[in-house]
Amino acid sequence: MAFRHGDTAADSALRPVCGRPRGDAGRLAGYPDTWCAGADSLEGVSTRDTDWEGVRLHVVTGKGGAGKTTVAGALALALAFGGKRVLLIEVEGRQGIAQVFDRPPLPYEERKIAVAPESATRPGGEVYALVADPESALLEYLEMFYNLRHAGKALTRLGVTDFATTIAPGLRDVLLTGKAAEAVRRKKGGRLIYDAVVMDAPPTGRIGRFLNVTSEVSGLARVGPVRNHADTVQKVIHSPQTAVHFVSTLEEMPVQEVLDGVAELRGLPGGGIPVGGIMINMVRPEELPPAELRLAAAGSADEHELALGLKAAGLDDTRRLAADLAAELTEHAVAAAGQEQQRRRLAEPGLPCYQLPMIADGMDLGGLYRLAAALREQGAA
Ligand SMILES: Nc1ncnc2c1ncn2[C@@H]1O[C@H](COP(=O)(O)OP(=O)(O)OP(=O)(O)O)[C@@H](O)[C@H]1O
Ligand SMILES: [Mg+2]
């Protein structure tokens, strides 16, 4: 099953770019003709820029269940290639990262959870993870700005921190985005600690409010440290250092959420929030040539030829079998045409698109490294 880049949009089931053409045309040519050839190695391409040079905060959103946590993990691994240090932050407190990396539940503490493989020319990098929960973030914040270490503990016992983050969702969000912004800017001895931070973010329906922290806290705090904190966070999120990536499968609802989410972020006050790429997840390779798919979708699969093929394979009752097969073929071809339509819709915002294969035998660490390799090969990291 080969997918050639010369195919038309309708013909190519696996195109590396669905939006603007890549700056580096050579990269398109370098993309394998066959799905995921070499994808088990993170050494896809040796020296070249990625699509997100200069981006240090990668926010990953998408419809619930589309693969945000999985793709965020794969992106962190891909970015860690070549000796980089990457922090992966989870903000929904569901221990999804631990699951994806096959680890026991993670504490509110930055921990190394994976290494990117080294190559002959490049050292392996490191992925750290943090499960940021609003209560711990609030305590840390009180400590930092008010030196309230002990008072903070007392407040927790009284349930005040829980109360504060429950009644003020804006505060809750700014504490979580603040944690990511702080990690992006953190330095030691004049050097940045992390080369990149990847956030496994809330789903598309909540991403605008979540990231638009200044307006969310403006009713809460007009001056003072909370306000200053929010302004600093906002500066990072609106800067070219940030990119919000969308994960989608080729189904109508997730695609619609991507289109709505992109429009929402672009339309936010202050010039919008920088939108990144679209990660098309769980893509199944198409086995049939486009011409046959078109025929089958129109219900014109050649039953006679199918029957001859079945007969040659030594099967009996080939006419009935051929009719059943033709019906299945039509169903498959109609579904493939539907996916192609969703792919065209995803091209509308003009963003770079990346294809991530369906890991057929279930996701595991090996699958995660394959997704990371696919992201690297296509220039996402
Ligand atoms: N490329 C893939 N191939 C096979 N399975 C996948 C792939 N990507 C994700 N999955 C599986 O799909 C399920 C949902 O993925 P994941 O948890 O990453 O989605 P999510 O968007 O983070 O979900 P939620 O909204 O619940 O946080 C998981 O079981 C995961 O292992
Ligand atoms: Mg998740």
> pLDDT for 270-329, tens place per residue?
889 999 999 999 999 888 888 888 888 888 778 888 888 888 988 888 888 888 988 899
CA 309, 310, 312, 317 torsion: positive or negative? negative
- Residues forming a β-bridge with 232: none
Nearest CA to ligand 1 atom 19: 67
Query: Residue 281 CA: which ligand 1 atom is closest?
Result: 1
How far is ligand 2, taken at its centre, from the CA of residue 324, in Å?
Answer: 39
| Helix pair angle (149-157, 160-167), 10° resolution | 80
Query: Residue 96 CA: which ligand 1 atom is closest?
Result: 17
- What kind and span of H or E run contains 371? helix 365-377
* pLDDT for 1 beyond 50: no
State pLDDT tens for residues 206-244: 999 999 976 666 666 666 777 777 888 899 999 999 999
How far is ligand 2, taken at its centre, from the CA of residue 7, in Å?
Answer: 34
18-32, 66-80, 132-146, 151-165, range with the lowest pLDDT: 18-32
How far is ligand 2, taken at its centre, from the CA of residue 34, in Å?
Answer: 30
Non-local CB neighbours of 338 within 8 Å, separated by 6+ positions = 250
Among 363, 365, 371, say which to mutate for ligand 1: greatest number of ligand atoms within 8 Å of CB: 363
Nearest CA to ligand 1 atom 6: 363
Nearest CA to ligand 1 atom 4: 359
Among 60, 68, 70, say which to mutate for ligand 1: greatest number of ligand atoms within 8 Å of CB: 70
Q: Which residue has the tokens 């996402």?
A: 380
Q: Residue 11: what pLDDT? A: 35
Whether 89 and 56 have beta carbons less than 8 Å apart is answered as no
Residue 344 in 3-state DSSP?
helix
How far is ligand 2, taken at its centre, from the CA of residue 236, in Å?
Answer: 23
How far is ligand 1, taken at its centre, from the CA of residue 281, in Å?
Answer: 9
Q: How many DSSP H helices and E strands does the chain contain? A: 15, 10
How far is ligand 1, taken at its centre, from the CA of residue 371, in Å?
Answer: 12
**Among 31-40, 164-173, 291-300, the range of highest mean pLDDT:** 291-300
Query: Residue 358 CA: which ligand 1 atom is closest?
Result: 3
Please state, rounded to an integer, the average pLDDT across all residues of the chain: 83
Token readout for 62 is: 């998408």
Number of the ligand closest to the Cα of 364: 1
How far is ligand 1, taken at its centre, from the CA of residue 91, in Å?
Answer: 16
**Residue 302 CB burial class (10 angstroms; 0-12, 13-18, ≥19):** middle
Could you tell me how many residues make up the chain?
381
Query: Residue 70 CA: which ligand 1 atom is closest?
Result: 18
Q: What is the 3-state secondary structure (H, E, C) of 53-114?
A: CCCCEEEEEECCCCCHHHHHHHHHHHHHCCCCEEEEEECCCCCHHHHHCCCCCCCCCCEEEE
Nearest CA to ligand 1 atom 29: 363
Q: Determine if residue 214 is left, alpha or beta; phi over 0 gives left, psi from -120 to 50 gives alpha, anything else beta.
A: alpha
DSSP secondary structure, 277-331, as one string: EEEEEEEPPP-S-HHHHHHHHTT---HHHHHHHHHHTT-SSHHHHHHHHHHHHHH
Q: Residue 28: what pLDDT? A: 31
Q: Residue 90: what pLDDT? A: 96
State pLDDT tens for residues 94-122: 899 999 999 999 988 999 999 998 878 88
Nearest CA to ligand 1 atom 10: 67
Q: Which residues have CB under 6 Å of ligand 1?
A: 62, 64-70, 96, 203, 281-282, 356, 358-359, 363, 371
Token readout for 49 is: 């820029």
Query: Residue 64 CA: which ligand 1 atom is closest?
Result: 25
Model confidence at 141, in pLDDT bands (50, 70, 90)?
Answer: confident
